[in-house]
Amino acid sequence: MDKKEKIQELMNAKKPVTLGLIAKELGCTDLEAAQALPSEICSFIKDISSFDVLWAQMSQWEKVTLFIIHEGHVFEIQSKLSAGKRGMGYYNILSKDAVIGGHLNADSLETIAFISMPFMGRESHYVAFFGKDKKLHFSVYVGRENHQLIESVKEGFMKAKAQFC
């Protein structure tokens, strides 16, 4: 079975399918798994130096869910993103009222992808940030209210995808 067939089999399975699961099943890195997805599901940005502009645009979205998966732990933080600025080797998010704040090592990122892939039978869209180590470092999902995608955020995602990919 080739990669495309395996991905299709996983997508049709009755279990939650994540990029990490696809990578595990294909025996490859998270980035290679994303690259194996059909182009209608995954689009890559043209230039990693667009990070600052992309993040600034995402900070205009009403609400997102930041996913950080580390050593099998899954952190989900729902909030509006705050814009940041570069300094001391990081992209710093220091807004006083920021729920999601901190220091992103943007220079460690290799690429960014816009992924539209159902999760547990529900429409889902996210921006995936991959490191030079080929691992998924974190993702910013289109936010939900009452289990429904926030339409304005979905529109922002689609607009950014068209602009950056």
Q: What is the pLDDT along the chain (165 residues), one digit of tens a residue?
A: 688 888 888 888 777 888 998 999 999 999 999 999 999 999 999 999 999 999 999 999 999 999 998 888 889 999 999 999 999 989 999 888 888 889 999 889 999 999 999 887 789 999 999 999 999 999 999 999 999 999 999 999 999 999 999
The helix or strand, by DSSP H or E, that contains position 142, with its residue range, turns out to be strand 136-142
Top-level class of domain 45-164: alpha beta
Rounded to whole angstroms, the Cα distance separating 149 from 122 reads: 9
pTM of the model: 0.94
Q: Where are the alpha helices (DSSP H) in the chain?
A: 3-12, 19-26, 30-36, 51-58, 151-164
CA 148, 152, 156, 162 dihedral sign is positive
Residue type, 94: L
